[in-house]
Amino acid sequence: MIEFEAFIDRGGFRFDCRFASDSQALALFGRSGAGKSTVLAILAGLLKPDRGRVVVDGEVLLDIERGRFVPAHRRRIGMVFQDALLFPHLDVRGNLRYGLGSTSAGPAGLVDDVVAMLGIDHLLERRPGSLSGGERQRVAIGRALLSQPRLLLLDEPLSALDIERRAEIMPYIERLRDEARCPLVYVSHAIDEVARIAREVLVLDAGRVIASGAPGEVLAPIRGYRGTGGGGEDDADGADGSGLPGESTAGFAPVSVIEARVQAHDEHYGLTVFAHPAGALSVPGVIGTVGAPSRLLVRATDIALALQQPHEVSFRTVLAGTITDIGRDAGPIGRVEIALRGHGRLVALVTRQAIDELRLRPGSQVFAMVKASAMDERSIASRLAAR
């Protein structure tokens, strides 16, 4: 459990943030400069606010009013930065053992468990200079875990990696979330990372929490589509991926998060079918095990809408729902929000012409068709039973 309240007002920088969370995986999301890393610095004891109080697992780590400030080295909080910051003169085994501190081995089997969880057993004799960026970050996470923290902070751990290395390390972070005993606080301004990792999301802007809740409820509404172009990714808010007020209209399309379960594998066509009350979702690739809960990410630009159940079309995923809101301006594209049958929500970007000709309005029953080619394995945000 984290109880956090902090205020800073220095040289034009104003930070006034408060929240409480008992989530196993809390994500801090927002554009650059929103205050995400400031939260981590205060939690870790690297920054002392003007006023505030921080409690982790019932222990008061900071209480300015009462004069209490537990120094960083006594907080038992691990931290992983954008740069892995490994010791170049030590091999991977040496870097990992450094995390143990003054103890030589830690609890029985701890090193072996961490090595197995992160899949780095084949790297133990290698030096950091010979590792890929994703491998270095896995070692850095392992070193932090071996310090046996009560809380693990990850500050943009994938931002310095290319797409391939991000794809390489993401499953290990998911495994860390699901199998490690210490909670995570994950900072990012990349919506796909947050959707995959988080159980709870806090959205920060200008040093304040402006929204909080489950990923599926928080992430989709945060995208304000201005309709200034033709409906591609360059038309969405958030040049840095945040999509918050005041951002330019470049860089990202709205993303919806759908909670579903693996229903079956189609070995012949190489598909995985996911079950949802609104309909089945077909995703290329044989993924997970039957019955496993998963999250699927769907971009608003990969959805088409129909008023009747479609037949004889190439779409393999058709989801039933009810329109709850339509947002549009003078541009050619409108934003349609849909409550899916059963649970969940979906955001679609369609032309204003289609909205008018189909007479779409709040309360309309629609069928959302999703391209299977847009839902490859990278669209799967959690493969819990595949471990």
Residue-wise pLDDT for 163-212, tens only, equals 777 877 888 888 888 887 789 999 987 887 888 888 999 999 999 999 99
165 and 272 belong to one structural domain:
no
35 contacts 15 by C-beta, under 8 angstroms: yes
With respect to residue 221, please indicate whether it lies within any of the assigned structural domains.
Answer: no
**204 is a domain residue:** yes
Query: Domain of 342: which CATH number?
Result: 2.40.50.100
What is the predicted pLDDT for the residue at 84? Answer: 77
Residues 39, 43, 48, 54, CA torsion sign: positive
Examine the fold and report which residue of 167, 197, 216 is the final residue of a domain before the chain moves on: 216
Pair of tokens at residue 369: 């068709």
The verdict on 174 and 289 lying in the same domain is no
Q: Are 168 and 158 in contact (CB under 8 A)?
A: no
Q: What is the pLDDT of residue 380?
A: 55
Mark whether 361 and 295 lie in a shared domain: yes
Say yes or no: 312 and 380 in one domain.
yes
Domain harbouring 180, CATH code:
3.40.50.300
Number of domains in the chain: 2
Beta strand spans in 233-309 (E): 255-266, 271-275, 281-284, 293-299, 303-306
The structure tokens listed for 169 are: 């390390």
pLDDT at position 102, please? 55
Q: Among 271, 234, 252, which Cα is nearest to 373's?
A: 271
Q: What pLDDT was estimated at residue 190?
A: 80
Q: What is the pLDDT of residues 346-363, one digit of tens each?
A: 999 999 999 999 999 999
Between residues 278 and 246, the one the model is more confident about: 278
Q: Are residues 168 and 306 in the same domain?
A: no
Residue 381: half-sphere exposure toward Cβ, Cα within 13 Å: 21
Q: To the nearest 10°, report the CA torsion of 184, 156, 170, 108.
A: -40
Q: Pick the more confident residue, 69 or 297.
A: 69
Together in a domain, 45 and 194: yes
Tell me the per-residue pLDDT of 82-122, one tens digit each, with 9 for 90 and over: 887 888 999 998 899 888 875 555 565 788 888 888 888 89
Residue of 52, 60, 75 lying closest to 5 (CA atoms): 52
Boundary-marking domain end, from 158, 188, 216: 216
**Residue of higher predicted confidence among 290 and 375:** 290
Sort strands 333-340 and 25-29 into parallel, antiparallel or unpaired.
unpaired
Q: Which residues pair with 266 in a beta bridge?
A: 271
Residues 189 and 78 in one domain: yes
pLDDT at 69 over 70: yes
d(CA 285, CA 287): 6
Are residues 203 and 323 both part of a single domain?
Answer: no
* Of the residues 216, 242, 267, the one at which a domain ends: 216
Same domain, 357 and 280: yes
- Residue 60 has a pLDDT of 96
pLDDT of res. 242: 43
Residue 260 lies in a domain: yes
Q: CA-based Rg of the chain, rounded to a whole angstrom? A: 22
Q: Same structural domain for residues 312 and 196?
A: no
In this predicted structure, the answer to whether residue 280 has a pLDDT above a threshold of 90 is: yes
- Partner residues linked to 29 by β-bridges: 188, 203
Poorest-pLDDT segment among 4-18, 69-83, 223-237? 223-237
Residue 240 has pLDDT above 60, yes or no: no
Q: Are strands 317-328 and 281-284 parallel, antiparallel or unpaired?
A: unpaired
Q: Is residue 195 part of a domain?
A: yes
Tell me, yes or no, whether 200 and 240 share the same domain: no
Among residues 376, 363, 369, which one has the least CA distance to residue 350? 369
On the question of pLDDT at 27 being above 80, the answer is: yes
pLDDT at 222: 58
Of the segments 28-42, 122-136, 294-308, 354-368, which one has the largest average pLDDT value? 354-368
Domain-embedded: residue 134: yes
Range of the domain at 152: 2-216
Between the alpha carbon of residue 28 and those of residues 155, 210, 335, 345, the distances in Å are 9, 11, 25, 21
pLDDT at position 30: 87
Report pLDDT digits (tens) over 208-230: 999 998 887 787 665 543 333 33
Are 148 and 273 within one domain? no
If you ran DSSP here, which 8-state letter would residue 157 be given?
T
- Kindly tell me if the per-residue pLDDT of 29 is higher than 50: yes
Q: Does residue 286 form part of some domain?
A: yes
Tell me if 97 is assigned to some domain: yes
**Contact by Cβ (8 Å): 40, 153:** yes
Mean pLDDT of 4-11: 92
Supply the pLDDT for residue 113.
84
The overall average pLDDT reported for the chain is: 83
What pLDDT score does 365 carry? 97
Burial of 371 per CB tally in 10 Å (0-12, 13-18, 19+): middle
Q: Which of 264, 258, 326 is nearest to 294 (CA)?
A: 258
Question: Does residue 60 fall inside a structural domain?
Answer: yes
Query: Is residue 289 a contact partner of residue 385, using CB atoms and an 8 Å limit?
Result: yes
Spatial strand order in the sheet of 255-266: 281-284, 271-275, 255-266, 293-299
